[in-house]
Homo-oligomer: A and B are copies of this chain.
Amino acid sequence: MKRYALYVTGKKGIFDPAGKTAQNALDNLGYEGIEELKIGKYIQLTVDDTVTVERVTEMCEKLLANPIIEDFRIEEVG
């Protein structure tokens, strides 16, 4: 059994409405000093030992991320 952590984030310059909304809401609640807030996806993937990191990369490219507007990073966590 292997575990991967996948981080999917909006590419630079792509509008992030969820992040912007959360940032505005924090401003309205009185939280000062926030310069930027971006919301992406954190995917925890558990696979059997036959699944390689190349295969996981393919899953990200084909389904878990949208390569047009998102970047992704893969970490094997054990």
Contact = CB atoms under 8 A, between A and B. Distances in A.
A64 to B, nearest CB: 6
A53 interface: no
A1 B35 contact: yes
Interface string A9-26: 100000000010010011
Interface of A: 1, 7-9, 19, 22, 25-26, 29, 31-48, 50-51, 55, 58-59, 62-64
> What is the total number of copies of this protein in its complex?
2
Contacts of A38: 43-44
A8 B43 CA distance: 10
25 contacts: A1-B35, A9-B44, A22-B43, A22-B63, A25-B63, A26-B59, A31-B55, A31-B58, A31-B59, A32-B50, A33-B47, A33-B48, A33-B51, A34-B51, A35-B46, A35-B47, A35-B48, A36-B45, A36-B46, A37-B45, A37-B46, A38-B44, A39-B41, A40-B43, A42-B42
